[in-house]
Amino acid sequence: MVAALRRFVLAGILAAAPCLTASADDAERKTAEGLARAALSDDWSYKFLESLTSEIGPRLAGTAAEARAAEWAVGRLKAAGMEVHTESFPMTAWERGVETAAIVKPAPQRLVLTALGGSVATPPNGVEAEAVVFRTYADLLAAPPGSLTGKVAVVTERMVRTEDGTGYGMANPIRRAGASEAAKRGAVAYLHRSLGTDTHRLAHAGALNYAEGVARIPAAALANPDADQLERLAALGPVTVHVTLTPTERKDARSVTVVGEIKGREKPDDVVLIGAHLDSWDLGTGAIDDGAGVAIVAGVGRLIAALPQHPKRTVRIVLFGAEEMDYSGPAYEKAHAPEAAHIMMVGETDFGARRVYEMRLPAGAADNVFGRTIASLLPPLGVLLLPEPARRGGSDIQELALEGVPVVSLSQHGMDYFDIHHTADDTFDKVDAAELAQNVSVWTALTYLAAETDVDFRALANAASKP
Amino acid sequence: MVAALRRFVLAGILAAAPCLTASADDAERKTAEGLARAALSDDWSYKFLESLTSEIGPRLAGTAAEARAAEWAVGRLKAAGMEVHTESFPMTAWERGVETAAIVKPAPQRLVLTALGGSVATPPNGVEAEAVVFRTYADLLAAPPGSLTGKVAVVTERMVRTEDGTGYGMANPIRRAGASEAAKRGAVAYLHRSLGTDTHRLAHAGALNYAEGVARIPAAALANPDADQLERLAALGPVTVHVTLTPTERKDARSVTVVGEIKGREKPDDVVLIGAHLDSWDLGTGAIDDGAGVAIVAGVGRLIAALPQHPKRTVRIVLFGAEEMDYSGPAYEKAHAPEAAHIMMVGETDFGARRVYEMRLPAGAADNVFGRTIASLLPPLGVLLLPEPARRGGSDIQELALEGVPVVSLSQHGMDYFDIHHTADDTFDKVDAAELAQNVSVWTALTYLAAETDVDFRALANAASKP
């Protein structure tokens, strides 16, 4: 398969290189162009994702399912021509139990919700109490201490749909901090409208953070129509709800990061790192979050590994573990801080499987020969190279970014990402093969060029930051 | 509210009737036009539906929830100016219990499904067996006797999306008859891909019919992505599934039909009947199926009741019970066969809340003065009057149609109806207020004219049926 692929890539490269007197830079450009073209008509990543989401399925951090996924990924990356190893780290695993809820008064009816990751359990028979509905999170924060004693606090503020996920980011405190804010005011449980833009009876999972020194109360996200229902009924009179959540925690769990490398032919210690996270929430099968990202970066590694010669720098494909439980970035940075100065560029793909439409390079790189080369390849791929630099990475790489590693970021269309993200609906059928292939194409051209170039992105960024 | 409404309708009528020397037919036409216009800008039905789906919620046939809905509806129809009574009939009620399923091998993962209405239960701990996946229902029917002994039969044929629901009708045997066909071949349980056009992790409920003399095996519908997953895994090797369903049956239950009437001022025994069903499946809150229909016909009754004088014939608004469990039409026909000859026209609305775009009248009526009058009102409402007659009613009225009652039918846009129908997603937020109001508008004009006219639709139909 790799041999057949090599012929395919070479054919693409040769077809794109009619001029035999081209310069070295021209050769790089032609190779990148050939890679990008090969990726566009290649369904390897799509099939990879199909297999991951079908044969492994959900892969919650720290569970046997995540370990199975890692074992599976090791085999796949090896078969794709990479040198593969794993890196394990300790974590506290959390697993969902029973999660049922209902409106008890005024009219009995079921509520759809899902426990927040890290939530404590209710008593086995649940809690039953009056619901106090806040239409905005600010309303909850404005409630005086003691005002929610014995109540179930419910925040029904809706996240805003945006192309780039800004609405999710801004709504995040509702999920992350709401339980402790409700507990400070005496609540016995906390419910919030799912951070999601759909109108389906599917709740959106996600982790919370309990504040130090505050009672830990059970917390869950309501499906959007169920939050609507509580809003309507609360406007008519008192509403009593019953909530049962029985999640469990295991403090001695471990997660694992899977790493595939194509060693640099000239500077093997200099690394271009691209990654995605292998763990997923448990409700769906983690197709768009982040099976797609894993399939994309694995596809990049396979295409680059199949080149006639490795790029000058090492290409490192990192499949992070336990991102959804907030461990991946810190664990990787802790283990790799000593080599951070040798990580020449880092990028992450964790925003679904829709097309890439914008690229941001490290500061100073867009104006450079590197930026001009990549810019020349992007029009047929439908991607804009923005002059503004990438400012920060996602959760897998933000600690590396803080260490000064230059960051590249690609923007994908995300208007419907939060319709599916963290729900049972995150399944393989939601992914479009051609859109996924476009991602592989863009990432492959970029990663190859970053690994082949002699440009020092860190030096460029330092120069750019001087007044 | 009714007094205020009367002024509003009158204002519309007067505004539309500049010519004081108009004929009687002109007066009917102007009244119908005024009613249609009033309905378009009226949110009474929308608020009615909001209240039904919020304050009552789901209302499964033969349960306390359906009885609560009936009591609620009696009050609402009375307040809307109708004479109201109820008609009760016996039925076997069926209620959902636990319903969980999982792929056990090759990789443990949850399956989303829902028991079919009328299904027997599995043992309390469920059944575990190899799944035999048939990609078409015909493949199941072609399987020889004994070939499924001890297996779980799974049919993954997908219903076809169409505007008019033809795809649902043609796929119906998969749900209705599949369990008995699987049992004839030895299966211990039957699963099928939901009769639904969405791609969500929500299963579509619906009733089955067990064949006489065949073992009754538990049966359930899989969410579409879960059917996909079983297809993919079965193509790779053996798949074991575990299914637990614990529904229960109660043979001495009763359902109730709620009837609101506006007695005819000249021919009170002649009836124009329009209906919808008040019961719903239990997973959602029955907003599009068929809360919308109930809200539409209730809105029609309210507008006609508020006229300065009642139409010549009686307008009867029927909110049927237990349609989803197949009782409504037969029960009504059984109770009303003696008066069938006096039911001048019957219509039903049970296809969601999207706009009406086509109307079919009883045979012969489109060419008649009645048809010409209604045709003159339809262009601003965006509805085509088709020359072909309505041929049959829906499940609430098909028995009356077989008795020879002339049928009218309105077609609503239905391309997305089966994305939501019979799922937990059937909630109020899916309904558009303006589209619902357009339905009320069209039905009100039609119902009023049919009740005011002297045209005998049965005689027209008889004449039209002669060679």
pTM of the model: 0.89
Check: CB of residue A273 under 8 Å from CB of residue A318: yes
Dihedral class, residue B322 (left if φ above 0, else alpha if ψ from -120 to 50, else beta): left
- Running DSSP on this structure, what letter comes out for residue A430? G
* Helix count and strand count (H, E) for chain B: 15, 16
B3 phi/psi in degrees, rounded to 5: -60, -45
Facing residues of A95 across strands?
A: A248
Residue B464: the pLDDT is 82
Size (chain B), residues? 467
Q: Summarize pLDDT for B155-197 with one digit per residue, the tens.
A: 999 999 999 999 999 999 999 999 999 999 999 999 999 999 9
| B112 closest CB neighbour out of A103, A107, A424 | A424
For residue B447, give the 3-state DSSP assignment: helix
- pLDDT category at B120 given cuts 50, 70, 90 is very high
Check: CB of residue A11 under 8 Å from CB of residue A29: no
- Whether residues B109 and A423 touch (CB distance < 8 A) is answered with no
Please list every residue in chain B whose beta carbon sits closer than 8 Å to the beta carbon of residue A283.
201
A314 phi/psi in degrees, rounded to 5: -75, 135
pLDDT for A23 beyond 80: no
Provide the percentage of residues in chain A whose pLDDT is more than 90.
Answer: 91
Please list every residue in chain B whose beta carbon sits closer than 8 Å to the beta carbon of residue A428.
225, 228-229, 232
Please list every residue in chain A whose beta carbon sits closer than 8 Å to the beta carbon of residue B68.
107
| A68 closest CB neighbour out of B57, B107, B201 | B107
A contact test, residue of B105, B109, B232 with most A CBs within 10 A: B109
| B228 closest CB neighbour out of A109, A225, A429 | A429
A304, A308, A314, A315: CA torsion to nearest 10: 0
pLDDT for B16 beyond 50: no
Please list every residue in chain A whose beta carbon sits closer than 8 Å to the beta carbon of residue B230.
none
Tokens of A75: 């085999």
The long-range contacts involving A339-343, CB below 8 angstroms and separated by at least 24 positions, are A339/A269, A339/A271, A340/A400, A340/A403, A340/A404, A340/A405, A341/A404, A341/A458, A342/A269, A342/A270, A342/A271, A343/A271, A343/A272, A343/A273, A343/A400, A343/A405
pLDDT for B260 beyond 60: yes
Check: CB of residue A35 under 8 Å from CB of residue A444: yes
- pLDDT category at B462 given cuts 50, 70, 90 is confident
| Residue A267, CA atoms < 13 Å, CB-side half-sphere | 15
Q: Would you list the DSSP string of A104-118?
A: EESS-EEE-EEEPBT
Check: CB of residue A349 under 8 Å from CB of residue A451: no
Tell me what the pLDDT averaged over chain A comes to.
94
The beta strands (E) that lie in B96-163 are given as 99-105, 109-111, 113-115, 127-134, 152-155
- Whether residues A232 and B50 touch (CB distance < 8 A) is answered with yes
Exposed (0-12), middle (13-18) or buried (19+): which is A146, by Cβ within 10 Å? exposed
Q: Summarize pLDDT for B47-102 with one digit per residue, the tens.
A: 999 999 999 999 999 999 999 999 999 999 999 999 999 999 999 999 999 999 99
Region A74-87 average pLDDT? 98
Residue B5: the pLDDT is 53
- Running DSSP on this structure, what letter comes out for residue A289? I
- Whether residues B425 and A199 touch (CB distance < 8 A) is answered with yes
Cα-based distances in Å from B364 to A382, B130, B371, B394, B464: 58, 57, 9, 21, 6
| Residue B198, CA atoms < 13 Å, CB-side half-sphere | 21
| Residue A227, CA atoms < 13 Å, CB-side half-sphere | 31
A-B Cβ pairs (cutoff 8 Å, strict): 97
CA distance A70 to A318: 11
Region A265-291 average pLDDT? 98
Facing residues of B267 across strands?
A: B313
Token pair 């009158």 is found at B10
Q: Summarize pLDDT for B203-233 with one digit per residue, the tens.
A: 999 999 999 999 999 999 999 999 999 999 9
The beta strands (E) that lie in B265-375 are given as 267-277, 313-320, 343-348, 356-360
Shortest CA distance to A413 belongs to which of A196, A171, A165? Answer: A165
CA distance B65 to B253: 13
The beta strands (E) that lie in B76-119 are given as 83-95, 99-105, 109-111, 113-115
The beta strands (E) that lie in A207-247 are given as 219-222, 240-245
Cα-based distances in Å from B93 to A338, A402, B255, B396: 69, 63, 9, 18
Q: Would you list the DSSP string of A340-369?
A: GGGEEEEEE--S-SSPEEEEEPSTTSTTSH
Q: Which residues from A are below 8 Å from B when comparing CB atoms?
A: 50, 54-58, 65, 68, 103, 106-110, 112, 199-202, 224-225, 228-229, 232-233, 236, 283-285, 423-425, 427-430
Provide the percentage of residues in chain B whose pLDDT is more than 70.
Answer: 95
CA distance B164 to B415: 7
Check: CB of residue A260 under 8 Å from CB of residue A42: no
- Running DSSP on this structure, what letter comes out for residue B156? -
A287 phi/psi in degrees, rounded to 5: -80, -55
- pLDDT category at B24 given cuts 50, 70, 90 is low
| A427 closest CB neighbour out of B225, B233, B424 | B225
Shortest CA distance to B416 belongs to which of B170, B171, B222, B197? Answer: B197
pLDDT for B13 beyond 50: no
- pLDDT category at A12 given cuts 50, 70, 90 is very low
How close, in Å, is residue B112 to chain A by CA atoms?
9
- Whether residues B202 and A199 touch (CB distance < 8 A) is answered with no
Shortest CA distance to A156 belongs to which of A208, A80, A231, A265? Answer: A231
Three-point CA angle B72, A110, B279, nearest 5°: 40
For A209-239, b/e burial (b = at least 16 CB within 10 A) is ebeeeeeebbbbbbbbbbbbbbbbbbeeeeb
Number of Cβ within a 10 Å radius of residue B323: 27
Residue B23: the pLDDT is 60
Q: Summarize pLDDT for B269-309 with one digit per residue, the tens.
A: 999 999 999 999 999 999 999 999 999 999 999 999 999 99
pLDDT for A1 beyond 60: no
B contact test, residue of A427, A428, A430 with most B CBs within 10 A: A427
| A107 closest CB neighbour out of B55, B228, B427 | B55
CA distance A399 to A10: 37
Q: Between A351 and A15, name the one with better pLDDT.
A: A351
CA distance B177 to A240: 41
- Whether residues B427 and A228 touch (CB distance < 8 A) is answered with yes
Residue A171: the pLDDT is 97
Tokens of B358: 């086509």
Region A216-224 average pLDDT? 98
What's at B139, amino acid-wise? D
- pLDDT category at B2 given cuts 50, 70, 90 is very low
The long-range contacts involving A459-465, CB below 8 angstroms and separated by at least 24 positions, are A460/A362, A460/A363, A460/A364, A460/A365, A460/A368, A460/A406, A461/A362, A461/A363, A461/A364, A461/A365, A461/A389, A461/A406, A463/A364, A464/A363, A464/A364, A464/A389, A465/A363
Shortest CA distance to B216 belongs to which of B318, B304, B119? Answer: B119
Residue A5: the pLDDT is 52
